[in-house]
Protein backbone atom coordinates (compact mmCIF):
# COMPACT_ATOMS: atom_id res chain seq x y z
CA UNK A 1 0.00 0.00 0.00
CA UNK A 2 1.38 3.40 -0.80
CA UNK A 3 -1.00 5.53 1.23
CA UNK A 4 0.10 8.21 3.67
CA UNK A 5 1.33 7.23 7.12
CA UNK A 6 -1.53 7.42 9.64
CA UNK A 7 -4.14 7.24 6.87
CA UNK A 8 -7.33 5.46 8.00
CA UNK A 9 -7.96 2.07 6.43
CA UNK A 10 -11.21 1.56 4.51
CA UNK A 11 -14.10 -0.25 6.20
CA UNK A 12 -14.14 -2.89 3.44
CA UNK A 13 -10.58 -4.04 4.09
CA UNK A 14 -9.59 -7.27 5.83
CA UNK A 15 -6.90 -7.19 8.50
CA UNK A 16 -4.73 -10.08 9.72
CA UNK A 17 -3.52 -10.45 13.29
CA UNK A 18 -0.66 -12.96 13.25
CA UNK A 19 -0.77 -15.64 15.95
CA UNK A 20 2.65 -16.56 17.33
CA UNK A 21 1.59 -18.37 20.52
CA UNK A 22 -0.27 -21.69 20.71
CA UNK A 23 -2.18 -20.54 23.78
CA UNK A 24 -3.93 -17.87 21.69
CA UNK A 25 -5.84 -20.60 19.81
CA UNK A 26 -8.98 -22.31 21.09
CA UNK A 27 -9.84 -25.81 19.85
CA UNK A 28 -6.63 -26.48 17.91
CA UNK A 29 -7.58 -30.13 17.52
CA UNK A 30 -11.08 -29.40 16.21
CA UNK A 31 -12.22 -28.72 12.67
CA UNK A 32 -13.19 -25.14 13.65
CA UNK A 33 -10.41 -23.63 15.79
CA UNK A 34 -10.83 -20.02 16.84
CA UNK A 35 -8.68 -17.30 18.31
CA UNK A 36 -8.83 -16.35 21.98
CA UNK A 37 -9.33 -12.74 23.08
CA UNK A 38 -5.73 -12.51 24.28
CA UNK A 39 -4.63 -12.29 20.66
CA UNK A 40 -6.29 -8.86 20.48
CA UNK A 41 -5.07 -7.35 23.76
CA UNK A 42 -3.01 -4.22 22.96
CA UNK A 43 -0.90 -4.35 26.12
CA UNK A 44 1.67 -3.17 26.91
CA UNK A 45 1.04 -0.52 24.25
CA UNK A 46 -2.25 1.10 23.32
CA UNK A 47 -2.01 -0.01 19.71
CA UNK A 48 -2.43 -3.39 18.06
CA UNK A 49 -0.27 -4.40 15.10
CA UNK A 50 -2.05 -6.02 12.13
CA UNK A 51 -1.55 -6.39 8.37
CA UNK A 52 -3.99 -5.19 5.71
CA UNK A 53 -4.76 -7.72 2.95
CA UNK A 54 -5.23 -5.00 0.31
CA UNK A 55 -3.17 -5.65 -2.81
CA UNK A 56 -1.54 -8.78 -1.38
CA UNK A 57 -1.73 -12.37 -2.55
CA UNK A 58 -2.43 -15.10 -0.03
CA UNK A 59 1.24 -16.13 -0.23
CA UNK A 60 2.37 -12.55 0.48
CA UNK A 61 0.08 -12.30 3.53
CA UNK A 62 1.61 -15.48 4.95
CA UNK A 63 5.15 -14.34 4.10
CA UNK A 64 4.62 -11.08 5.98
CA UNK A 65 3.48 -13.16 8.97
CA UNK A 66 6.57 -15.32 8.72
CA UNK A 67 8.67 -12.15 8.63
CA UNK A 68 6.97 -11.00 11.86
CA UNK A 69 7.77 -14.35 13.52
CA UNK A 70 11.41 -14.14 12.44
CA UNK A 71 11.81 -10.56 13.71
CA UNK A 72 10.26 -11.49 17.06
CA UNK A 73 12.62 -14.48 17.25
CA UNK A 74 15.61 -12.19 16.73
CA UNK A 75 14.37 -9.55 19.16
CA UNK A 76 13.30 -11.93 21.94
CA UNK A 77 16.05 -14.54 21.59
CA UNK A 78 13.59 -17.44 21.44
CA UNK A 79 11.99 -19.13 18.48
CA UNK A 80 8.59 -17.78 17.46
CA UNK A 81 6.37 -19.87 15.19
CA UNK A 82 3.63 -18.49 12.97
CA UNK A 83 0.72 -20.74 13.98
CA UNK A 84 -1.90 -18.85 12.02
CA UNK A 85 -3.71 -15.59 11.71
CA UNK A 86 -6.99 -14.06 12.80
CA UNK A 87 -8.67 -12.23 9.93
CA UNK A 88 -11.11 -9.47 10.81
CA UNK A 89 -12.98 -6.91 8.77
CA UNK A 90 -12.05 -3.28 9.35
CA UNK A 91 -15.79 -2.49 9.41
CA UNK A 92 -16.12 -4.72 12.50
CA UNK A 93 -13.55 -2.60 14.30
CA UNK A 94 -15.63 0.47 13.48
CA UNK A 95 -18.81 -1.21 14.77
CA UNK A 96 -17.14 -2.13 18.04
CA UNK A 97 -15.71 1.38 18.37
CA UNK A 98 -19.22 2.84 17.97
CA UNK A 99 -20.61 0.41 20.54
CA UNK A 100 -18.05 1.56 23.12
CA UNK A 101 -17.55 5.10 21.91
CA UNK A 102 -17.50 6.52 25.44
CA UNK A 103 -14.48 4.31 26.22
CA UNK A 104 -12.74 3.71 22.89
CA UNK A 105 -12.15 5.39 19.57
CA UNK A 106 -10.70 2.44 17.70
CA UNK A 107 -9.33 3.26 14.28
CA UNK A 108 -7.12 1.25 11.92
CA UNK A 109 -4.35 3.43 10.48
CA UNK A 110 -1.56 2.65 8.05
CA UNK A 111 1.83 2.56 9.74
CA UNK A 112 4.43 1.36 7.22
CA UNK A 113 7.02 -0.13 7.10
CA UNK A 114 6.70 -3.04 6.81
CA UNK A 115 4.44 -3.26 3.79
CA UNK A 116 0.71 -3.00 4.62
CA UNK A 117 1.41 -2.66 8.35
CA UNK A 118 -1.55 -1.17 10.22
CA UNK A 119 -1.99 -0.17 13.86
CA UNK A 120 -5.37 -0.32 15.54
CA UNK A 121 -5.24 2.75 17.77
CA UNK A 122 -7.65 4.56 20.09
CA UNK A 123 -7.77 1.87 22.77
CA UNK A 124 -8.99 2.80 26.23
CA UNK A 125 -6.34 2.88 28.96
CA UNK A 126 -8.57 0.76 31.21
CA UNK A 127 -7.43 -2.89 31.03
CA UNK A 128 -10.93 -4.27 31.73
CA UNK A 129 -12.38 -2.33 28.80
CA UNK A 130 -9.52 -3.54 26.60
CA UNK A 131 -10.49 -7.11 27.57
CA UNK A 132 -14.15 -6.51 26.66
CA UNK A 133 -13.19 -5.12 23.26
CA UNK A 134 -10.68 -7.94 22.66
CA UNK A 135 -13.43 -10.49 23.37
CA UNK A 136 -15.63 -8.92 20.71
CA UNK A 137 -12.80 -8.75 18.18
CA UNK A 138 -11.91 -12.40 18.79
CA UNK A 139 -15.55 -13.46 18.44
CA UNK A 140 -15.73 -11.67 15.07
CA UNK A 141 -12.39 -12.92 13.72
CA UNK A 142 -11.90 -15.90 11.45
CA UNK A 143 -8.92 -18.03 12.50
CA UNK A 144 -6.80 -19.38 9.65
CA UNK A 145 -4.16 -21.96 10.63
CA UNK A 146 -0.79 -21.78 8.94
CA UNK A 147 -0.75 -24.98 6.94
CA UNK A 148 2.93 -24.48 6.15
CA UNK A 149 4.24 -24.03 9.70
CA UNK A 150 7.06 -26.12 11.04
CA UNK A 151 7.34 -26.45 14.80
CA UNK A 152 10.87 -25.92 16.06
Nearest to 121, CA basis, from 54, 45, 52, 65: 45
User: How confident is the model over 63-79, as pLDDT tens digits?
Assistant: 999 999 999 999 999 99
Instruction: Answer whether residue 151 shows pLDDT above 80.
Output: no
CA distances from 99 to 13, 64, 133 (A): 20, 31, 10
Strand, helix or coil for residue 22: helix
Assign 3-state DSSP to the chain and report helix, strand, coil percentages, each to 5. Answer: 35, 25, 45
- pLDDT over 80 (residue 149): no
| Cα–Cα dist 2/143, whole Å | 27
Whether residue 47 has pLDDT greater than 90: yes
Q: What is the mean pLDDT of residues 94-123?
A: 87
Q: What's the CA gap between 104 and 134, in Å, rounded?
A: 12
Residue in 46, 17, 50, 49 with CA at minimum distance from that of residue 34: 17
What is the predicted pLDDT for the residue at 98? 86
Amino acid sequence: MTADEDAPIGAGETLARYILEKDRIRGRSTSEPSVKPGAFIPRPHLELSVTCHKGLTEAEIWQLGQDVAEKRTEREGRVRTLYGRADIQCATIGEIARKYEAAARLTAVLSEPPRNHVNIVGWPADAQMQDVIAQELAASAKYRPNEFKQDP
